Chains A and B, each alone.
Chain A
Amino acid sequence: GAGVSQSPSNKVTEKGKDVELRCDPISGHTALYWYRQRLGQGLEFLIYFQGNSAPDKSGLPSDRFSAERTGESVSTLTIQRTQQEDSAVYLCASSLRDHQPQHFGDGTRLSIL
């Protein structure tokens, strides 16, 4: 498809388990962003990639969160030892370059039991 693709669309897991969320950006987009949206809240920035380097990780809430990106393509966001407060929709976006409008995927809805 031509848009940003995220998988899985829904994930339910037990507290303490690790989860891995995947994002396939639009081909050719050098910038990739991860956001989190908790229920009733706005978008919370997590991390930004330019190519496969992450110049801005300032939004990662704890060291349980990490992200990688392969070249200018797929990115994975990993949450270790999940907690209930990690329950949220995790959104990925990409843009042709930094400072360009971002194109979003439909998100992964993560529920921690």
Chain B
Amino acid sequence: DQQVKQNSPSLSVQEGRISILNCDYTNSMFDYFLWYKKYPAEGPTFLISISSIKDKNEDGRFTVFLNKSAKHLSLHIVPSQPGDSAVYFCAASGFNAGNNRKLIWGLGTSLAVNP
């Protein structure tokens, strides 16, 4: 039962163009969403987050959009750079039935930015 889905396992874009990574979730109790980037042999690194009270958050080249009615969020990277090549994980946070806050992770999308 995958509550956070990243349906594209991989994505390839040209340097300078926009990269759009998508994430869908099923649980309407999620109220906080995060994107992490992971290079090989390293732990994930926090990139950007968004609260459910917002629909957009921007940080430099990175923008996250949240569509609550569609239970969909996306990460836009523009312009894409070769150093952005990594696996990107979407994660969603909310309280479970036991009143514990849980962070549920997607399986990741591998982004390749070609020079």
Residues of A within 8 A of B106 (CB): 42
Q: Report if A25 contacts B (CB, 8 A).
A: no
Q: Report if B101 contacts A (CB, 8 A).
A: yes
**Residues B105 and A42 in contact, CB atoms below 8 Å apart:** yes
Q: Report if B65 contacts A (CB, 8 A).
A: no
Residues of B within 8 A of A91 (CB): 43-44
Q: Report if B107 contacts A (CB, 8 A).
A: yes
- Tell me which of B43, B46, B102 contacts A101 (CB under 8 A): B46
* Size class of the contact patch on chain B: 20 to 34
* Chain A contacts with B in 24-38, Cβ cutoff 8 A: 33
Inter-chain CA distance A25–B20, complex, in Å, is 32
Inter-chain CA distance A55–B101, complex, in Å, is 10
* A interface SS class: loop
Given A42-B89, A43-B89, A99-B93, are A106 and B42 neighbors across the interface (CB < 8 Å)? yes
Given A42-B89, A42-B108, A43-B89, are A102 and B42 neighbors across the interface (CB < 8 Å)? no
Given A101-B34, A101-B49, are A93 and B43 neighbors across the interface (CB < 8 Å)? yes
**Residues A104 and B44 in contact, CB atoms below 8 Å apart:** yes
* Chain B contacts with A in 57-115, Cβ cutoff 8 A: 89, 93, 98, 100-108
Inter-chain CA distance A45–B105, complex, in Å, is 9
Q: Report if A18 contacts B (CB, 8 A).
A: no
Inter-chain CA distance A98–B32, complex, in Å, is 12
Most buried by B among A42, A104, A105: A42
**Residues B107 and A41 in contact, CB atoms below 8 Å apart:** yes
Q: Could you tell me which B residues sit within 8 Å of A by CB distance?
A: 32, 34, 36, 41-46, 49, 89, 93, 98, 100-108
Q: Could you tell me which A residues sit within 8 Å of B by CB distance?
A: 4, 33, 41-43, 45, 48, 55-56, 58, 91, 93, 98-99, 101-107
Please give me the 3 A-B residue pairs with the lowest Cβ-Cβ distance, nearest first: A104-B43, A42-B107, A101-B46
